[in-house]
Amino acid sequence: KKDIKILAIESSCDETSAAVVVNGREVLSNIIYSQIDIHTLYGGVVPEIASRKHIEKVNQVIRTALKEADCTLDDVDAIAVTYGPGLVGALLVGVGAAKAISYAKNIPLVGVHHIEGHIAANFIEDKTLEPPFMCLVVSGGHTHLVKVTDYGQFEILGVTRDDAAGEAFDKVARAIGLGYPGGPKVDKLAKEGNPDAIEFPRAKISDSAYDFSFSGLKSAVLNYINQKEMKNEEINRADVAASFQKAVTDVLTEHTIYAARKYGMDKIALAGGVASNSALRASMKAACEKAGIQLYYPAPILCTDNAAMIGAAGYYEFIKGTRHGLDLNAVPNLKL
């Protein structure tokens, strides 16, 4: 059986990335140009700047990915590209580049859902992982509890009703004076704090055991800080970080374990930027051990946005027969 080599492109937010992936699992290259330094100046991602930076970098990133994989476009069996969800201007750059190469070299084009990519990062990390499994997708833009029934086949059990988990991390980080992106900084500072110091609320949603809500928690943290400032009391930022982080990870862990049990799943996978959070990994690990569930999570570099994960998802779409034409467009609110 011939190996299938995929050139993958990802540009949905603030990372310009290209990768070469073989048979969905073996990464020959994964080049990530992060724009974080620029967006940090503004405290968050500025869409217009993101688009411009993608345009500047996309060709260079693709060329480097091919070079590092020691191959040319003639060796590529398909081009996989993220076409949604994400920032429309940012997505269009990757989609445009992919279509241009597909047309010029007559290579099949496969549009990939960004979340499907995050989930597929687990296939790269553990070559033996196969569906079905329960997957918690937690990133800056998404909080999804997904039943992965087969490759490229999903059932969404729960979503966030308001803020995404990563968004909550970023907002709380800003409130306690840490920069953007806040997740990794909260994670680090929390290691010096007491997670039981402050009792922050855990939102329960009465009509769904699987949905999430983080805006109430975020407000509780902001109120706590305001009240302390009003009373001129000192704020222990490490305690705030640790207690907030525990409130988030408790809920994420509880819902995911509940869903896995309910559906009789013996495997749980984590995906998305927040999946690299050390407290989430630890609490999931403890809960999975107790429940006799096998836990999977990708290395941090595969958790945040990267093209290798798009190459993994793209492979499974490709062998299923998914093909897109040159009319492929960016879909900012693409559904899974």
Among 125, 163, 187, 211, binds ligand KG4 (CB under 6 A): 187
> From the annotation, which residues make up the binding site for Fe cation?
114, 118, 305
Inter-residue contact 138 to 183 (CB < 8 Å): no
Tokens at 216, concatenated:
């109430």
- Can you tell me whether residue 251 is helix, strand or coil? helix
Between 310 and 328, whose beta carbon lies closer to ligand KG4? Answer: 310
Q: Rounding to the nearest 10 degrees, give the CA dihedral for residues 95, 105, 59, 93.
A: -10
Residue pointed to by tokens 């499907």: 116
Instruction: Determine, following the binding rule CB under 6 A, whether residue 141 of this chain makes contact with ligand KG4.
Output: yes
Among 6, 8, 9, 13, binds ligand KG4 (CB under 6 A): 13
Amino acid at 183: G
- Can you tell me whether residue 272 is helix, strand or coil? coil
Instruction: Determine, following the binding rule CB under 6 A, whether residue 277 of this chain makes contact with ligand KG4.
Output: yes
Which range in 35-43, 57-65, 121-129, 269-277 contacts ligand KG4 by CB under 6 A?
269-277
Among 139, 213, 249, 253, binds Zn ion (CB under 5 A): 139
Sheet holding 153-159, edge to edge: 153-159, 143-150, 133-138, 267-271, 294-296
Inter-residue contact 43 to 36 (CB < 8 Å): no
Strand partners for 138: 143
Among 166, 195, 298, 314, binds ligand KG4 (CB under 6 A): 166
Instruction: Determine, following the binding rule CB under 6 A, whether residue 16 of this chain makes contact with ligand KG4.
Output: no
Spatial distance between the Cα atoms of 204 and 323, rounded to a whole number of angstroms? 41
Among 89, 111, 158, 183, binds ligand KG4 (CB under 6 A): 183
Cα angle at 29 between 34 and 331, to 5 degrees?
55
Which range in 42-50, 120-128, 225-233, 273-281 contacts ligand KG4 by CB under 6 A?
273-281
Rounded to the nearest whole angstrom, what is the least distance from the CB of residue 139 to Zn ion in the complex?
A: 4
How many residues make contact with ligand KG4 (CB under 6 A)? 19
Contacts of Zn ion in 257-316 (CB under 5 A):
305
Rounded to the nearest whole angstrom, what is the least distance from the CB of residue 275 to ligand KG4 in the complex?
A: 8
Spatial distance between the Cα atoms of 24 and 287, rounded to a whole number of angstroms? 30
Interface contacts to ligand KG4, rule CB under 6 A:
13, 139-141, 166, 169-170, 181-184, 187, 272-274, 276-277, 304-305
Interface contacts to Zn ion, rule CB under 5 A:
139, 305
